[in-house]
Structure 1
Amino acid sequence: MTWIKPSSRWMAHRCGWATKPGQERALAVEVTRAGFAWALEHACLSHFEPDVHGTREVWAEQKRTSPVRVQWDPERDLLHRPLDHRSTQAGLGGEAVERYVGEWTTSLTDATGTMREIAALVAAGDLDAAEAALPQETPYPLPDHIARRLGATA
């Protein structure tokens, strides 16, 4: 599986501002909106949720037939502390990986320098400048039927 992590803050947390061993590079991957929508339409949660699936058997069948796994993690602030809202990660397998590589990806940008510049601003205590240097991100509007299936709250 390969993972799409749409939140730059969460990615910064995950890779330690592109300084963790084996994670010294951060790439910004731009995908089509139609591709991301397809991924979410064909996704299931990575873990069992009784309120979403009802039974473990229903979840196991969704997991077996879905080429995409979604998990929700606490969004992070600039100091990597968890915030009250969550961001998603989408794990792609099988057909979804082929589509991601062959159809959805429109650009790759090395964001390592930007990550490290923001980290330096955070380390210097200039959180306003660090915030201003982050990419602009807005919540993705999930259709109700997808939000229910992925355990997203309105």
Structure 2
Amino acid sequence: MATISSTAPPPTAVAAAAANTTPPARQIRALYDDDTITVYQAYSSTIADAAVASQRLNASPDFATGTRMTWIKPSWCWMLYRSGYSYKDSRQERILALRMRHADFLSLLRDAHVNEGDRLPGSCKERWVKHGGGAEGKEARRKERVAEWRKVTVQWDPERSPRIGKLAHRSIQIGISPALVGRWVREMIVGIEDVTDRARELKRVLDGDERKKVGVEELVKRGLVPLERVYEVPEDVRRVLGMDFGEEEGVKKRSGGSTKGDEMPEQD
């Protein structure tokens, strides 16, 4: 189970920003309590309405995974970036906050394969080099992933600010394969909340703040940005996620060292 302090909360990304310090290159930050952690995903209105009403994500017949991974994000700002504050397209017009038990969340991470980096155990870098980019390369990489029966894929992408600008440190995305998503929906999601209005109000406030006087702490006070605390994980999970590798690479980048090959395309 995650190491959750019952006394003072651990340092947060918000506190780090206020202190003008940089979080480690790879660090999980999330909204959580003693029992659950919150992750986000965006869906169409049809799927979201049925899910919230029944507290069951697959309540709508429109909910279907096909051969695509389902990517969940603990980072509120990364969800805002990917969905365009819910305005990107009709498939992402409703943002849902999904609560998971800590044990289930950690079980996903323990079963993960890291889709980034050229020196991590089980890296997908070889596939990227082998097949290249473009539509044909993307399809070839997809088929190879399916053939390997990966259940969970983790990707570390640049974290985003509430204004969705790219930050220097990374944010975790967790891709759940079609083979596992049914169990995730049935057994691992214990609460569903529609937070679309919060995302849209945040965008309204930021659009009206032309001089950028409204900072992160103020947005937290207004309830538009959740107070995401550092989510500590056991050492075995750190190894699976390549978190210490990420810290080493972050030091290289900040000191001008090479991190060639570290960037991979961001996933939905």
TM-score, normalised via structure 2 length: 0.51
Aligned residue in 1 for 2:226: 135
Tell me how many residue pairs correspond in the alignment: 150
User: How far does residue 94 in structure 1 lie from its aligned partner after superposition?
Assistant: 4.2
Quick check: 1:69–1:90 contact (8 Å CA) kept in 2? yes
- 1:110 counterpart (194, 214, 218): 194
Change in 2 beyond 3 A, CA 1:119/1:67:
same
Quick check: 1:8–1:135 contact (8 Å CA) kept in 2? yes
Who wins on radius of gyration, i.e. which is larger?
A: 2
Quick check: 2:70–2:178 contact (8 Å CA) kept in 1? no
User: How far does residue 25 in structure 1 lie from its aligned partner after superposition?
Assistant: 1.0
Structure 1, residues 68-120: CA drift from partner, whole Å, max 9, x if none? 00001111112211112111010001453133111110111111101001111
Aligned residue in 2 for 1:25: 94
Bigger shift: residues 140-149 or 98-107: 140-149
Residue 91 of structure 1 aligns to which amino acid in structure 2? G
Which of the two has greater strand per residue? 1
Q: Where do 5+ consecutive residues of structure 1 fail to align?
A: none
Partner Cα separation in structure 1 for residue 122 and residue 97 of structure 2: 37
Residue 127 of structure 1 aligns to which amino acid in structure 2? V
TM-score, normalised via structure 1 length: 0.85
Name the SS for the 2:120 alignment partner: helix
Partner Cα separation in structure 2 for residue 147 and residue 67 of structure 1: 18
- 2:118 counterpart (50, 53, 58): 50
Partner Cα separation in structure 1 for residue 93 and residue 122 of structure 2: 41
Partner Cα separation in structure 2 for residue 54 and residue 69 of structure 1: 11
Name the SS for the 1:51 alignment partner: coil
Name the SS for the 2:229 alignment partner: coil
Change in 2 beyond 3 A, CA 1:54/1:25:
closer
Q: Map 1:41-120; keep pairs closer than 5 Å.
A: 41-47=110-116, 49-53=117-121, 56=126, 64-120=148-204
Bigger shift: residues 117-126 or 140-149: 140-149
User: How far does residue 66 in structure 1 lie from its aligned partner after superposition?
Assistant: 3.3
Quick check: 2:220–2:227 contact (8 Å CA) kept in 1? no
